[in-house]
Structure 1
Amino acid sequence: MFANFSLDKLTTSISTAAQQVEESLKNNSYLPSEVSNNLTFKKTSRFFQEKVGTISEQEISKLPESYTSLEKKTDQLVKILKRIIIVTKTYEIDGYDYPPNLTESLNDWWSSQQQQQTSEKQDLQFSKSFASAISKSAYESEELLKSLRKSKTVTKKSNDNNEDETEETADEVEEEEEDDEINNLIEIFNSWCKCFQEIDKNKINMDSIMIKEFNVNLEKMIQVDYKNVMTLRNKVNDSRLEFDTIRHDIKTKEASASAAAEQQATTKTSSSDETQKEQEDSKKEPTESKKESDKTAEEEDPTESEDYKLLEKLEDEFVSNTTEAAEGMMEFTNNAEIIKLIKLFQKTQLDYYKKCTEELEKNMKLLDEFDIADSNATV
């Protein structure tokens, strides 16, 4: 019986019982305080008896199969939602797709190169993402090439001042070609930088929708809707415990009364003389005896007792709570809300990748133009 008993389970049971006692005090407001407190005490005692297995399954009211099926469906759906939110919570982490191998030393090197440029140059604003890392690298590469072009220009002017104006060498022609190549690279890196800047902006917008709309609604289903359903389910279990408790009390009282009646009958038959006398008296006064018997039966009619009236109230409460909880679970497990969220997720992703494709195609068009220009130059 106690093979699966553990301290953790007992602690959980005590905590659950305490919550149920509190809920019970609220739910039993329609009962007199004395009756309510007594019922709460008995119900809590029965809760522990059921947990440790001292009450047989036959004495525990069974819920409809359709209800238990809804419970399983609800619990499985929550597991699914929690599994999804574990993944989509990633959107809330700053720099979740930032290159992990982009070391601080490399960043420091880029910064040192930037410091060598004029104070008029202002860094672009970059977020912490993969697209931003590409854009930043392209931007800083562009700045390095501009710095190289500037140094070559200064050197060329210095050399021109030291040479005859009529002198033109093959080196100068080669230098001009190198300048064109540098200019082309500057333009390429500039377009690459802008391309991933736009991609990064679109990513920020996508992340915002995922956080503020998708995750928020998913969290609401888990933290609000499911908890509301669990409150209704706890009320069902609470009312079931109350109903079973009073039903058990009535059965116990009836069994005790029956045993007392049998004991009384046995005591009467032990004295035959007394029994015969009673029989004679009953024959003499049949009408009076019958009236007394009917009166006693009427007074002891169990259907009119307070216990049976209370049992009837608790049964109605049990049925009402079960119906309400079933309706709540049906609403929670409705596919419409989860489908709506998945559509939101997919649409947000689709919009993001469409915009990324547009930016990449625009950049590829520029790169193709440089390929054509290089081919013509070679020919």
Structure 2
Amino acid sequence: MDTLQGFGKSVSNTFSTSFTPFAARTSQFVKEQLGQADDKTQLPADYRELEARVDALHKVHQRMLSVTTQFGNEPYDYPPNLRESITDLSRNVTGRIQALSNAATPAEAQQALVSPTQAPTEPKTFAHAISRAASASSQLLPASDPLSSGLEKLSTASRQIGQARLAQDKVIVEQLVRPWTTNLNLPFKHVAKYRQEVENSRLLLDAAKARQRQREQGGGAGPGIGSIFKKNPADEAAVDEQLRHEVETLEDKFIVAMEEAVGAMTELLNTPEPLRGLSAMVHAQLEYHQAAVDALQDVTESINGLQREQEASYRQSRETSS
């Protein structure tokens, strides 16, 4: 009989030992989802508030980046139906003709025909497109034509605006888009790991508490295999003590996990990095729009002067002809 009791105790202990932390967490999680778990350990209100703030900040990063990442896409303001291929082709042909005219040997002429043109690629922004169109249009008119002069001045101003926009984009990408993207890939994932540790610790703690309640209600701590054998009071007391110690240990681990998660979340929420990037973005936009205002004011004064001169000349010619 003693041998049989020893065998039953061995089987029960082996089964309990094989009940891994992962299995315990999974079992507790499933019970909670099915509404079969009692007395779920509640997280402190301050902790839940920190979690809510972290989640809100995460959404802020995602929502802002969904828009601001476009600053890294040069043609974001370039009309999709605008075609400049003819202009580009003309520039390439001109470059090849120039290279052929400079060739001193047949080999150099052959190289000029087959090698790609060295002309730099023009920025693909709407302001640069206006600049190119105005410059090309100006060259179609006599240099003495006031409209030609006005178009050339517009071309210069538009190029300045386009360059200012590219400078703005560079600052925003480097000081907002990249740091915020790094936050999503590193600090937020770091915090998520700590939060998951809290959840894992809670599930293990609640699973141990459930087994403890089950024993107190007479159901036993194990799956019940040992219950078919006669129970030894001393062994039962040892199991109760072991389970009590397990619950206390898991409570300590749960508290430590929460403290670490609170520290990580607090650090993430208090970092000045997001606001620093936002400040850089606003400052870059201000500089861009100020540069655009300055360029447009200059070209407006110049074109207005050309317009006044042309209208005066036009009126004078009308008066003379009459």
Please say whether Structure 1 and Structure 2 have the same fold, judged by a TM-score greater than 0.5: yes
Q: Which moved more, 1:122-131 or 1:184-193?
A: 122-131
Q: Which residue of 2 aligns with 1:50?
A: 32
TM-score, length-scaled by structure 2: 0.73
| C-alpha distance in structure 2 between counterparts of 1:211 and 1:300, whole Å | 65
Pair 1:336-2:314 in alignment: no
Higher RCO, Cα 8 Å, sep 6+:
2
Separation in structure 1 between the aligned mates of residue 96 and residue 248 of structure 2, nearest angstrom = 89
Whole-angstrom CA distance in 2 between matches of 1:257 and 1:51:
23
Report whether the alignment pairs 1:370 with 2:306. Answer: yes
The answer to whether the 8 Å contact 1:110/1:140 transfers is no
Q: Identify the range of structure 1 (344-353 vs 359-368) with the bigger mean alpha-carbon deviation.
A: 359-368
TM-score, length of structure 1 as denominator length:
0.63
Residue equivalent to 1:306: 242
Question: What is the CA-CA distance between 1:375 and the residue it aligns to?
Answer: 4.7
How far off its partner does 1:349 sit? 0.4
Shift of 1:213: 2.1
The one-letter code matched in structure 2 to 1:95 is P
Cα distance in 1, alignment partners of residues 91 and 271 from structure 2: 56
Unmatched runs of 5 consecutive residues or more in structure 2: 1-15, 100-117, 221-232, 317-322
Cα deviation digits, residues 253-304 of structure 1 (max 9, x gap):
232289xxxxxxxxxxxxxxxxxxxxxxxxxxxxxxxxxxxxx89993788x
Question: In 1, are the aligned partners of 2:198 and 2:258 still within 8 Å (CA)?
Answer: yes
Partner residue, 1:137: 133
Question: Per the alignment, do residues 94 and 36 of structure 1 end up closer, same or farther by CA in structure 2, a change over 3 Å counting?
Answer: farther
Task: Please tell me whether the aligned partners of residues 126 and 136 of structure 1 are also in contact (alpha carbons under 8 angstroms).
Answer: no
Larger Rg: 1
Give the aligned partner of residue 53 of structure 2: 73
User: Do 2:125 and 2:162's aligned partners in 1 also have CA atoms closer than 8 Å?
Assistant: yes
Asked if the contact 2:175–2:281 (Cα under 8 Å) also holds between the matched residues in 1, the reply is no
Aligned equivalents of 2:18 and 2:259: distance in 1? 23
Cα distance change on mapping 1:317 and 1:358 into 2, 3 Å = same
| 2:218 aligned counterpart, secondary structure | helix
> Which aligned pairs between 1:169-248 and structure 2 lie closer than 5 A?
180=144, 182=145, 184-248=146-210
Cα distance, 1:69 vs structure 2: 1.7
- Residue 320 (1) aligns with residue 300 (2): no
Distance (whole Å) between structure 1 residues aligned to residue 95 and residue 23 of structure 2 = 81
Equivalent residue pairs, number: 270
Contact kept in structure 1, 2:176 and 2:274, CA below 8 Å: no
C-alpha distance after superposition, 1:128-157 (max 9, x if no partner): 110011011011102222xxx4xxxxxxxx
- Paired residue type of 2:216: E
CA distance in structure 1 between the aligned counterparts of 2:18 and 2:282, rounded to whole angstroms: 53
Partner deviation per Cα, 1:230-262 (whole Å, 9 max, x = no partner): 11110000000111111211222232289xxxx
CA-CA distance at 1:228 after TM superposition: 1.2
Q: Aligned-pair distance for 1:117? A: 11
Aligned to 2:86: 108
RMSD: 3.3
Q: Alignment identity in percent?
A: 24
Distance 1:113 1:253, change over 3 A: closer
Deviation at 1:116, TM superposition (A): 8.9
